[in-house]
Amino acid sequence: MKRIFGMECEYGLTFSPNGRIYLPIEKILGYIFEGLIPNSWPSNAFLTNGARFYQDTGCHPEYSTPECDDIFDLIVHEKAGDRILESCLPAAEERLREEGLSGDIYIFKNNTDSLGNTYGCHENFLMRRDVDFWKVAEQLIPFFVTRQVFSGAGKVLKISGKPHYFISQRAQHIHEKTSSSTTSSRSIINTRDEPHADAERYRRLHIILGDSNMSEYAVYLKVGTATLVLSMVEDGCIIPGIELEDPVKAIREISRDPTLKKRVRLDDGREFTGLEIQRMYWERASEYLQTQPPDKVMLDILNEWGRVLSGLEEDPMLMVKEVDWVTKKWMIQSYIDRRGCGWDDPRVAMMDLQYHDVNRKRGLYYLLAARGKTAKVVEEEAVERAMTVPPQSTRAKVRGDFIRFARAKNRSYTVDWTYLKLNGYWEETILCMDPFCAFNRRVDELLAQVPAARLNP
């Protein structure tokens, strides 16, 4: 089940000034990037950990993890994006003070703003080119539509003037089953075919309907179950008659029901809850794993998947700590019960947002984590290391090594997912088409020219 996967996370950004001075958000974003990527702003920029940071549409900072072939690597590098952005805040606020301004910069790992705009958390899975993509997509769509029961981040929205708690932040912004667009007609499965690898062997499965998760456990289960189901479908282990009558309608209906009792209709007229459809995939995945060589991680994912589905079926509130939308709902309900206020209280809307603050000193998720109210999957030391060090078993290691060399030699360079280029005199381009390959002879020769001490991240 060896596979390359990665995540792209767009962050919300806002500035709260001490006074009435308006400052364009573009300028704030520039301050954030200044210390992180010397002399590179506002261009695309890859980091020494192999990841990519850049400005996305709508002036959002976006972090793309390096290529990972291990789910735990993916989790630590996804969390490393949060830490990198958090680490930029003090210097950015200091730059403001140097210009005679003061205030607080907030970065939120969420998917919607107060004006109803949305920004994404995209998942990428390298998949086989020799399988029928559209048949795979038809099998995957019901899985992704219903996966929100454990991967949703939760959101308080007003419907006809009354507050309502939704499971997913992105569900209401999905308009198509499949589409090549990521903005004008957001879809469940994006069809843009950019494998960043040997196109004759691979294509990229690009999923854009998911929420950004604060919970490490939710990321583990979200990506792990998708990996397992994709492998299962690629190998021809399918679920007959699972197609939804209206997937876009279904994803919205499931999101609006935190009791998880809402039934959605299949093409053949049968109706099931999101939990029941997930259970069908779980049962088929159980059969599939019995035919495969032992895989400790996939077996653990299968067991955790089943445990969470059972817990959600018994009482969703049993999944506090593991599932973001449940944890947030519990947090807000506890506050309402203590204060005697309603869901329409402005403080509830503020809590809904502050749950996603990447600043660990004020983000409500991290305050819950400090009280043992969240499930840990990876060690913080691993996350801190991932801020500067790439995965050691994929192409990202070659990219990170090359960037460290170029910076140590003060050489101008250009980097993309599949190539490395030294600019100027003795210009040279190094192709890296195999995402599984963590070695490049030419990059090793370049590294040998620089003392090890100067290559430290």
The residues carrying an active-site annotation are 56
Strand (E) positions, 151-290?
155-159, 162-166, 176-179, 187-190, 202-207, 263-265, 271-273
Instruction: Please give the C-alpha separations between residue 436 and each of 37, 84, 126, 449, in angstroms, as whole numbers.
Output: 26, 25, 11, 25
| Gap between the Cα atoms of 122 and 206, Å rounded | 7
Here the tokens at position 315 are 């009482």
Instruction: Please give the C-alpha separations between residue 425 and each of 215, 411, 422, in angstroms, as whole numbers.
Output: 47, 10, 8
Are the beta carbons of 257 and 325 closer than 8 angstroms? no
Four-CA torsion 370, 376, 382, 388, nearest 10 degrees = -70
Burial class (CB in 10 A: 0-12, 13-18, 19+), 99: exposed
Four-CA torsion 91, 97, 102, 106, nearest 10 degrees = -10
| Gap between the Cα atoms of 229 and 226, Å rounded | 5
Burial class (CB in 10 A: 0-12, 13-18, 19+), 447: middle
- Measured over the CA atoms of residue 382, residue 387, residue 393 and residue 397, the dihedral's sign is negative
